Every structure is written in C-alpha cells, then in structure tokens.
Amino acid sequence: MQRQAETAATQTAELVDRARHGDRDAYGELVELMWPQLVPLARTILAGDDEAEDVVQEALVHAWSRLGSLRQPAKFPAWMRRIVSRRCFAHLRRPRPATGPQVELRSEAQCEPRFEGIDFERLLNGLAPRQRAVIYLTVVEGHSSPEAAAILGILPTTARVHRHRAMAHLRRELEEWRR
C-alpha cells in the first residue's frame, strides 16, 4: 500500500513537471486523475449543487494558470482539493436564487436496511459547508483531521471542531429519527 502511494506521488510529480513546461496532455492526465476525487468533494461542500462540476472546472483552469507556484509537485492532489474547496466556499457566498440545494445520494434501495427511511439529504444539508467538507474528507476519503485541515487551508483544531460539531449534529438527528 505504501509503495502504491509512493508510486502515485512520483507519477503525479512527473505529470506536474511536464505540465509546468507546457505539456497540455500531461495536465489533461492530471485532470482525468483528479476529476473523480474533486467532483464529489465539491458536491459535498455545495450540498449537491448542480454547479459543482462548473466550480471544479473553474478550479482546474485556475490551477493551470498557477501551476508554477506549486512548490512540491507530489502535493498536487492536496493543492487541488484546497483550490476546489476555496472555490466552493466562495461560490456559497455569492447571492443565490431562493431554491434549496439538492444532495445527490444513493437511492434507498441501495442503502443498508438499518438506514432505510433516513432522510440523508436533510441530515447533510443541516451541516455547515465546512462541516460537510471535513466530514467528506475524513469519513469518505479517510483523511485525518490534520490532513483535512491542510486540504481546506484551515487550522487542525478548526477541522477537529468542525468534525466534532458535525458528528454531534448527525448523532442527534439519528437519535431523533430512531424515536
């Protein structure tokens, strides 16, 4: 497992170096590599916003123009997650139409029986955007709180607080549902 991570980091660093020297195909490979990771992150932060893919595309264009500022090419995935999360938070600050956000979730038929009837959309939408981001990075992607903090550009203690508050909220809501 460690060897695979090192190999992936080396390959990423090589692609970044090629892209820095103007190789658009190398950047295209980076985009293909990161897209499946960045879109779910954006959808989580934006509570399933239909514009999540647009925000990710904007972030990738921004990253292409700033690729020279990335000091450690192997850190490209974390750097991209940070750019995407910041773009998502900025997107949320913009004035929006009055319609509520929609979260893309698995159908109830795909859920384990013990979770049938739970309104996951309502549960997730009850969290603040940063709480959703920390929960996504720690629970879904398996990052530690300090790693999630680095990705989001916040202090590790702030990430832990967001995670703690989000988990407490989810526990309360699930307890309410069980009654």
Per-position pLDDT tens, the chain of length 179: 677 767 778 899 999 999 999 898 999 999 999 999 999 999 989 987 678 899 999 999 999 999 989 999 999 999 999 999 999 999 988 875 544 444 444 444 444 445 556 666 777 778 888 998 998 888 888 888 888 888 888 888 888 888 888 888 888 887 776 66
Q: What is the C-alpha to C-alpha distance for residues 128 and 117, in angstroms, rounded to an integer?
A: 23
Task: Give the DSSP H or E segment for 95.
Answer: none
Domain 114-179 fold is: Arc Repressor Mutant, subunit A (1.10.10)
Smallest CA-to-CA distance from 131 within 168, 176, 105 is with: 168
Both tokens of 112, joined, read 């384990």
Q: Which residue has the tokens 């879904």?
A: 140
pLDDT at position 117, please? 60
pLDDT at 174: 78
Q: What is the pLDDT of residue 99?
A: 46
- Residue 150 burial class via C-beta count within 10 angstroms: exposed 0-12, middle 13-18, buried 19 and up: buried
Name the residue ranges covered by the structural domains of the chain. 1-92, 114-179
N-term to C-term CA, the chain: 42
* Residue 51: predicted pLDDT: 87
pLDDT score, position 42 = 92
Q: In the chain, which ranges are continuous DSSP H helix?
A: 2-20, 24-45, 52-66, 76-93, 120-125, 129-135, 145-152, 156-178
pLDDT of residue 119: 67
Confidence at residue 96, expressed as pLDDT on a 0 to 100 scale: 58
Query: What kind of architecture, by CATH, is found in domain 1-92?
Result: Orthogonal Bundle (1.10)
Closest by alpha carbon to 167, among 145, 152, 151?
145
pTM: 0.66
Q: How many CB atoms lie within 10 A of CB 2?
A: 6
In a 3-state reduction of DSSP, which class is residue 48? coil
